[in-house]
Amino acid sequence: MADNTAKRELDAAGSDELSPEVKRAKTEDENGGENGKEAECENVLSGFKTSSVLRDSAREKNIFIHGKVADQDAVVILEKTPIREDTLTELFTHSTLKLVMKNDIYSTYQLQPPPRFNEIKTTVVCPATEKHVKKYQCQESYLMEETGDDYQSITLPYIQKQGFSVQWVYNILEKKAETERIVYEDPDPEVGFVLLPDFKWDQKQVDDLYLIAITHRRDIKSLRDLTSEHLPLLQNMFQKGKEIILQRYNLPASKLRVYLHYQPSYYHLHVHFTKLGYEAPGCGVERAHLLADVIQNLQSDPQYYKTRTLYFPLRADDGLLSMFKEAGKL
């Protein structure tokens, strides 16, 4: 139930965003080394044995590989890092060029940059389940139409039966993990949330800014659970999220896209903050719902998302798709 690149959010049954099982290579200090400094770590991929390439994209400069790490199934995602404006002088000065072709005013070269510019963002999912492997394979998607009754009779029972884990979310909220990554926290149990970077964002430039606000409340699975009762929570996340991003990253609200996913990648209410102009995975109209619209809809109709027909994409291997087929909805 998703779009196309890596994130950690698999446990919500087939999102194309990366799962909570994702494990990045870590230093001995969980918080990033002494005083938060980066440190070298053991090369967990030195013995990686490739089984197959699940997907690759020349446009997005990434590749998804299935294989084994120490006899455990693993998925490795390799992604070229962006070229940053503040590195251009060094890049031009210290690189070597090899001429490939020249014709009148046009010429192309192979550029060999200094080693530090050859960095590749690497995500390791290990141990990887069959669900992870299928998730990263190229598959057809279908646009589903879900009425309020469909949610109650098909989607909700599927969610409850699967029992998708969000323990990794609770670890963040309880400060058991990723504490060093939290940008802001409002600890209020009713309207509070934590704000932290999404793993797709390397935090080196604001052009692809991507943060997630995760509510402290644990009784809201998705858009379908929202009523006018939750307006104070949504308004607090909306306003404070924008304020913090302006203070910390100098991005005004007019340059932000703030939205929720339906279906979400994991069933604990969270809000996405991305820079307008950055085509983040899942920001398309078939899945993203602007938070401003959500707030207005609930102000107009307290039960809006209980009854509204919603549309969302599902991949061919998604278990929920099978449920809709069995119910004669596809």
Which residues have a catalytic role annotated? 270
Q: Is 322 exposed, middle or buried (0-12, 13-18, 19+ CB in 10 A)?
A: middle
Spatial separation of the C-alpha atoms in residues 197 and 202, rounded to whole Å: 8
